[in-house]
Structure formats: structure tokens, C-alpha cells
A and B are shown apart, each in its own frame.
Chain A
Amino acid sequence: MGTVLTYTEAELVLGLKSRSEKHFGYLYDHYSPALFGIALKVINDETVAGDVLQEIFLKIWRSIERYDTDKGRLFTWMVNIARNTAIDTLRSKAHKQGQKVQELGSNTMVTEQFAVHQSVDHLGLTKVIEQLNKEQRVIIDLAYYKGCTQEEISKILDIPLGTVKTRMRNAIIQLRTILKQL
């Protein structure tokens, strides 16, 4: 994002902390697609994901004072809020529980979602999806986007508990290798 910003991250944070709606508008314009992408991937329902995105930005607005630049980048902080809010919503709805596993059981999800919602980084995503195998995509989705614990992943994928972390690590290493080539 660096070059397209008209604000540096420090300026943006400062503006947000002083409750500037202009800065907040800028934040929304630049980061909402990424955060909506997270909500959508977690929830898999556009309407609910929209509600979740509202919650995410309200939380960012309310808790920006507590954001500490020393602890990490602003985007990392916002991604964490987005993931936690979306996963909380996913988990708080009982009917979603069953749906979650079902969705992941059918591995068409990734491509379906990709087809329906035009990704911002179309080309990059196509390449990543092509090169990450199904197994690796599913395990990243379960852990990162569905907030599943090791035990849950072990049950869903029917693999030993000890294998979960190894497979996860290999998936991330593979993902990083692909990203380097882009």
C-alpha cells in the first residue's frame, strides 16, 4: 500500500486517535476490501459479512486509543480485530457451527467464493490457488479463517493431532514460496 497512501501510517494513526472522520474515511477506503475479504471468508455470507464489517470498523474506531505502534503494524492490528470479530460471530451462531464443517467438507468453497466475489488481486490469488494444494488451502482456512483449534482440525480432517502443526507449517512455507515467485 505504501506508495498510494497520501498519509503515512504514523499520520493516519495520529489522525484516528484524534477522532478525525476524514482519517477514518481514508482508513475505510483503503482497508475495507481486505477486512471485508476476511469477514466474507470466515462467514461465507455476504449480508452477515457486511454486518460484521460494520462491527469491525466500529471496534477500530472505539479502540484506536489502545493501539500501540510499537507492538506491530496498524494493518496487523486491524486484521486481528477483523478475524476475531468474524470468528466470534461465526461461533456465536449455533446454526453456523454445523455449516462451518459442511462448507469445509466440500472443498469447492474456495473456488466458488472466488468466482462470486471478484478479488481485488485477481491474478495473484489465481496463482496461489493453483499452486497451493487443496490440503494446504483447507488447513490454512480452518486455522486462520475459521479459528479452529488443533483438536478440531484433527477431527475435521481426520488426521492425528501431531500432524496438524506439521501440515500447517508446510502449508505456510509453501504459501510463502509461492508469494516470493509472484
Chain B
Amino acid sequence: MDVQRYISSGIIESHVAGLVSESEAREVEAAIQEYPEVRAAADAVQQDMERYVQMWAVKPPAGLKKQIFERLNKVEETVEIPLVEEVAETIAEEGSFSMPQIPVLKMWQYGAVAAIALLIGSSIVNFVFMSRVDEYKEKYEKLTEEQVALSTEKGAYVTRYQEAEKEMNMLKDPAFKWIKMQGVNKHTGIVATICWNPESKETYILAQQLPEPPEDKQYQLWAIVNGHPVDAGVFELGNMTKVLQKVKNVTNAQVFAVTLEKKGGSPAPSLDQMFVAGKVSG
């Protein structure tokens, strides 16, 4: 131990003034026992403190000495052996120089106050975090919604892209024949296009300019071979006008034609209801 440093730390003054805890007091007592320099320093402070105490000396009231001697004899007669309580007291007096500690009741009071303070503190923290939980929950739900919307949109784009890609491929594929069907009779001016692969039999229709049919009717495509119409399936309008719609496979065709039929299609075309027709070239 650095004795000089210990002496100049102020612990000795605190000890003499009774300002140290019980454990610190024991530590100082041990240091005093072990190091003569510490003992000398402690004694010097102690003696000066006692000089100060002496300065406050006041003569006690005159009758007091007599009273004490009377009690002394009384005590001598009745109680030879000090009571257990007193022994404990005097041991405490001799054993340590520390001041009386905070009474037990007070300690409980401090404890209770500390516990209440902690409880209030924790409640506040809880409240703050709970309100944040609500806030985050709301944000989370909003983000989830947005995410769903985005993936739906993305799905739509993917479909559109795939369709466009398919159309591009068909355009590039020399096996596909493009047949432009012009309006016939009173329907002059309207157009629909057929995209047909005679090898794979795949057939698509692009219903660019057909008018919207009545509720109970539907357009039907026909492949005409040697004057005989062969059903190539019904198709939709509305949103589907912008894309190539797949219809039934067509094995052979010299002419393609579209008629307006009852919903679901007819076994034979209503020739007076023909809207467009186009001849397969080559």
C-alpha cells in the first residue's frame, strides 16, 4: 500500500469525523494497526479534533456529580453484571468509531420509496414502449399492404411482359403467317388479324377493331377449307383486344372469317353475321 497516498486521500479525516461506513472504518483500523505512519497521522487528526472538542467544554450543572454517584451506588447494588443489552452497546462503542447507522425502520422506508420509484419508472418505460409497439404495428401493417399491392402490380407486369415477349417471338418466327382480315359488307373499315402456324397448328387472333358484341352474343372464328367452314373457337373482346388470343388449333385454312354467334359459339356460321374475312396468302 502507498502509505503517503492513503494518508493524503482524506480517509483518515473522514474516519475521525465519523463520516465513513462500517466497512471503511474497519479498513482504516486495520491500516492503523499495520502502518505506524497511518497510526501517527490518525492520532494527529484525532488529537486536534479532541482539542476542538475541549474548546467546547462547558461546566455541567453543579448537582450532577452527586446524582451520578447516587445512581452509581444504586447500580452497583442492584446490577452487578451489565445487562446483555448494555454489553452489546459498549462493544459497539469500543469496536468501531462509526456513527449510528440509519435505523431499520428508516431503511425500510428508503427501501419502499426506492421500490415505488422503480415501479413508477418501469411503468413509464412500459407505457412508452407499448405506445411504440402500436406505432410499429401500424407501420408494419401499412408496409404489408403496400407489399401486397406491389407484388400484385408486379404479377400484372410479368404477365404483360410474358405476353409481349410471346408476341415478339411470334413476329420473329418465320413459321407464323399473319393474315389481315378486312371488314366485309356493311362492316367495311374494321380489322382483325390472325396469326397462324401451319406446322404446329397454333392459331391466335388479334381482335383490333371489332365492335363490342351484345351481352348474349360472342364472336366466333372459322377456318374455311374448300368452301367448308371449320370451327376455330370463340374469343373475347374488351381487355383482350390488345393481345393475341389463342384459339383452337387450325390444321388447314384458305380463308379465315369471324361471325357473331350466340354465346359459346354455333356449330355452323351465320353467314349474314360475318364481320371480317381474310385470305391466307401463298
Please say whether chains A and B are actual partners in one complex.
Answer: yes
- Chain A interface residues (CB < 8 Å from chain B): 21, 24-25, 28-29, 32-34, 36-38, 40-41, 46, 50, 53-54, 57-59, 61-63, 66-68, 71-72, 75-77, 79-81, 83-84, 87-88, 91, 117-121, 124-125, 128, 140, 143-144, 147-150, 153, 164-166, 168-169, 172-173, 175-176, 179
Contacts of B75 in A (CB 8 A): 58, 61-62
Question: Can you list 7 contacts pairing A with B, beta carbon distance less than 8 Å?
Answer: A29-B65, A32-B59, A33-B59, A50-B61, A77-B94, A81-B90, A176-B44
* Chain B, 48-91, CB within 8 A of any chain A CB: 48-61, 64-65, 67-69, 71-72, 75, 82, 86, 89-91
B69 → A minimal CB distance (Å): 7
Known contacts: A91-B103, A150-B19, A169-B13. The answer to whether A119 contacts B57 by CB under 8 A is yes
Task: Give complex CA distance A95, B107 in Å.
Answer: 18
Contacts of A59 in B (CB 8 A): 86, 89-90, 93
Q: Is the CB of A33 within 8 A of B52?
A: no
Contacts of A24 in B (CB 8 A): 72
A126 → B minimal CB distance (Å): 9
Known contacts: A84-B100, A147-B99. The answer to whether A54 contacts B64 by CB under 8 A is yes
Task: Give complex CA distance A153, B65 in Å.
Answer: 35
Partner pick for B82 among A41, A62, A143, A147, CB 8 A cutoff: A62
Contacts of B97 in A (CB 8 A): 80
Number of residues of chain B lying within 8 A (CB) of chain A:
46
Task: Give complex CA distance A63, B56 in Å.
Answer: 25
Q: Is the CB of B100 within 8 A of A87?
A: yes
- Chain B interface residues (CB < 8 Å from chain A): 10, 13-14, 16-19, 44-46, 48-61, 64-65, 67-69, 71-72, 75, 82, 86, 89-94, 97, 99-103
Task: Give complex CA distance A46, B58 in Å.
Answer: 11
Q: Is the CB of A117 within 8 A of B58?
A: yes
Q: Is the CB of B53 within 8 A of A38?
A: yes
Q: Is the CB of A62 within 8 A of B90?
A: yes
Task: Give complex CA distance A32, B68 in Å.
Answer: 11
Task: Give complex CA distance A38, B49 in Å.
Answer: 12
Contacts of A117 in B (CB 8 A): 58
Task: Give complex CA distance A61, B65 in Å.
Answer: 13
Known contacts: A38-B53, A54-B67, A54-B68. The answer to whether A173 contacts B13 by CB under 8 A is yes
Q: Is the CB of B68 within 8 A of A57?
A: yes
Which of B49, B56, B69, B71: most chain A CB closer than 10 A?
B56
A40 → B minimal CB distance (Å): 6
Q: Is the CB of B100 within 8 A of A38?
A: no
Task: Give complex CA distance A165, B21 in Å.
Answer: 12
Task: Give complex CA distance A124, B50 in Å.
Answer: 13
Nearest chain A residue, comparing its CB with the CB of B59: A33
Which of B45, B67, B72, B93: most chain A CB closer than 10 A?
B93
Partner pick for A62 among B53, B69, B86, CB 8 A cutoff: B86
Q: Is the CB of A91 within 8 A of B90?
A: no
Q: Is the CB of B59 within 8 A of A120?
A: yes
Q: Is the CB of A149 within 8 A of B86?
A: no
The 5 closest A-B pairs by CB, nearest first: A169-B10, A147-B99, A33-B57, A37-B56, A63-B90
